[in-house]
A = this chain, B = another copy of it.
Amino acid sequence: MDSFIALPEEKQETVIGAALAAFGRNGYKKASTADVALAAGISKGMVFHYFGTKKGLYIFLCEHCRKAMGEALSLNGKEADFFARIRQSTALKVELLKKKPHMLEFLKSMYQETDPEVALEVEGFRELIAPAQQALLIEDEDRAKFKDGVDPEQVLKMLTWMGVGASEEMSGASDEKMNELLASFDKCIEIIKNNFYKKEEYL
């Protein structure tokens, strides 16, 4: 793993790209180290030299994606408003994944991974990525903006669930369909905001 990090950035990217694509396309079990090596233009032996085992490579990729997600979202300049934060967060994620299509493939596949050999690790990474994806904590100043009688936590839950549902539907959707779904999701946020924020003041 150290020896991999010592590689020139460019070569690292090639290998990572090839591996993300291979696992994204076929899942953990069916993706073969030979495929990864071939696509990366290195020998099978090197894959094991760099990552020890197939599992080691997979976990490295999970970690790599988590970092990339985190970095992208950390650019999220603390938007003042709760709903604005949700929208920006969503937009940033979509941005990132459009630039690194293999990463999107991989993440989708990772969310679907059921192979027990990596189940534990994947579970952990899912939890690590989740908050990074959300940045959805309701702060005190947000709370005040909600209409009386509306439970902000419940609204957050609704939004979170909707996000999961929308993501699920985006998985495997075409680019066109994805944009459409994104617009629809945006509309949902809008609707909820319109209905649960105190109208006069925060719209």
Contacts and interface: CB of A to CB of B under 8 A. Distances in A.
Contacts of A163: 161, 165
A8 interface: no
Category for how many chain A residues contact B: 35 or more
A83 to B, nearest CB: 14
Interface string A154-188: 11011011111110110000000000000011011
Interface string A26-39: 11011000000000
Contacts of A150: 191
Contact of A162 (B27, B162, B195): B162
Given A157-B188, A160-B165, A161-B165, A112 B115 contact: no
A187 B29 CA distance: 39
A113 interface: yes
A48 interface: no
B161 A115 contact: no
A117 B202 CA distance: 52
Contact of A195 (B165, B169, B196): B196
Given A111-B168, A164-B169, A195-B196, 18 more contacts: A26-B115, A29-B29, A30-B114, A30-B115, A30-B116, A112-B113, A112-B114, A150-B191, A157-B184, A158-B192, A161-B162, A161-B164, A161-B169, A161-B185, A161-B188, A162-B165, A164-B164, A195-B195
22 contacts: A25-B114, A25-B116, A26-B115, A27-B27, A27-B113, A27-B114, A27-B115, A30-B115, A109-B114, A111-B168, A150-B191, A151-B191, A155-B191, A158-B162, A158-B192, A160-B165, A161-B161, A161-B162, A161-B166, A161-B169, A164-B164, A195-B196
Closest 10 CB pairs of A and B: A161-B165, A112-B112, A164-B165, A161-B162, A27-B114, A29-B30, A195-B195, A165-B165, A29-B29, A158-B188
